[in-house]
Amino acid sequence: MPSTFNPQHVIVQGITGSHGSFHARAMREYGTRIIAGTSPNKAGEMVDGIPVYSTIRDIQANHEVDATVIFVPAAHARGAIFEAIEASVPLIICITEGIPTHDMLAVHQRLAGSESILIGPNSPGIATPGESKLGIIPNHILSPGRIGVVSRSGTLTYEVVAALSSAGIGERYVVGIGGDPIKGMDFVDCLAAFEADTSVDAIVMIGEIGGQSENRAADYIKKSVAKPVVGYIAGHAAPPGVQLGHAGAILGSKQESAVYKSERLSEAGVTICKTVTDITPQIQKISRSTQ
């Protein structure tokens, strides 16, 4: 994985809010280098020793910034992402959920041709276990290893990572791409990075109903991924047209169903699990076979 995903100069937009301050503290406790935060009306204050600035440009006058984690309310998230893009921050992670779709369409346009990579919104963030984390993934479930995990679901990410760690199987990277229909980094981007990274031995991919991301991933895996992939698609009992949790988890057609996606991925060579608890045993099998 590129060094972009293990940044050394991290800021938090919305650091003075309850969520921003709590998770900034947790990120720093895990080893992430939080150098500053932003809050337009509280510049000059400190949050647990972290200086607060009005804007990212103000921080950049004194510090290099290679990643930002966004905790601002949904109504202000578009502006916060725009600010990070305009400041050419390489990695933008947006935790905020409930951002209007038309706002994300504008963000998507602004990202095109920019120097920034966006993860999220509605993302739990990313982690390089044993080194750093950016977002809200719980510290205690992470353990260093050689499995790349990419997921649309934050809750299932936590469950799978905790199970892997409990079984003595560590993770090299954990990436929560977020569950909104319009987002930044997607499955294919992560799969390409995991495939190219020699420190990743196997991949866990967690998808869900709605959209075509998993189907595009199946096409990519079939053509371009040689490493073993274990997958799970949530929502096999989902009724059509009903939103289940994430804004993007709406079953609108057969191609967006868990059954169809599971079949596509299986045909591409992915080991598909019937339940999320089957993932760890499958990874254990792969680990034994490669030893």
Please list the active-site residues.
246
What does 60-85 look like in DSSP terms, one character per residue?
HTTS---EEEE---HHHHHHHHHHHH
Closest CA relative to residue 36, chosen from 16, 22, 18, 19? 16
Residue of 102, 112, 141, 124 lying closest to 178 (CA atoms): 124
Angle between helices 213-224 and 258-267 (to 10 degrees): 10
According to DSSP, residue 94 is labeled E
- The kind and range of the H/E element at 175 are strand 171-176
How many other β-carbons are positioned within 10 Å of the β-carbon of residue 166?
Answer: 11
